[in-house]
Amino acid sequence: MFRAFVASSPEVEVDGRTVVAVTGGILVGAVARELLASCGLERVEPEGWYQQQAWLDVYRAIHEHLGADTLYSIGRRIPYSAEFPDEQMFDVPSALAAIDIAYHNAHRGGEIGVYRFVEVGMDHYQVQCDNPYPNVFDLGIAESLVERFHGRMQFKVELHQAQGDDNACVIDIVRV
Residues 6+ apart with CB under 8 A from 77: 21, 24, 25, 140, 144
Tell whether 26 and 44 lie within a shared domain.
yes
Q: Is residue 165 scored above 90 in pLDDT?
A: no
CA 84 → CA 66, 79, 94, 120, 166, distances in Å?
Answer: 27, 6, 12, 24, 27
Give the number of domains in the chain.
2
Residue 20 has a pLDDT of: 79
Residue 140 has a pLDDT of: 97
Tell whether 64 and 97 lie within a shared domain.
no
- Model's pTM, two decimal places? 0.93
The residue among 80, 115, 139 that closes a domain is 80
Residue 22 has a pLDDT of: 67
Domain span at 51:
13-80
Instruction: Compute the distance between CA of residue 108 and CA of residue 152 in angstroms, rounded to an integer.
Output: 37
**pLDDT one-digit tens code per residue, 2-47:** 999 999 999 999 999 888 766 655 657 778 788 889 999 988 898 9
Residue 164 has a pLDDT of: 78
Tell whether 124 and 148 lie within a shared domain.
yes
**pLDDT one-digit tens code per residue, 52-89:** 999 999 999 999 988 999 899 889 988 988 889 999 99
CA gyration radius for the chain?
Answer: 15
**pLDDT one-digit tens code per residue, 89-133:** 999 999 999 999 999 999 999 999 999 999 999 999 999 999 999
Residue 157 lies in a domain: yes
Tell whether 75 and 95 lie within a shared domain.
no
The separation between CA 78 and the C-alpha centre of its own chain, rounded to angstroms, equals 7
**pLDDT one-digit tens code per residue, 138-163:** 999 999 999 999 999 999 999 999 88
Residue 25 has a pLDDT of: 58
Tell whether 70 and 146 lie within a shared domain.
no
Tell whether 106 and 54 lie within a shared domain.
no
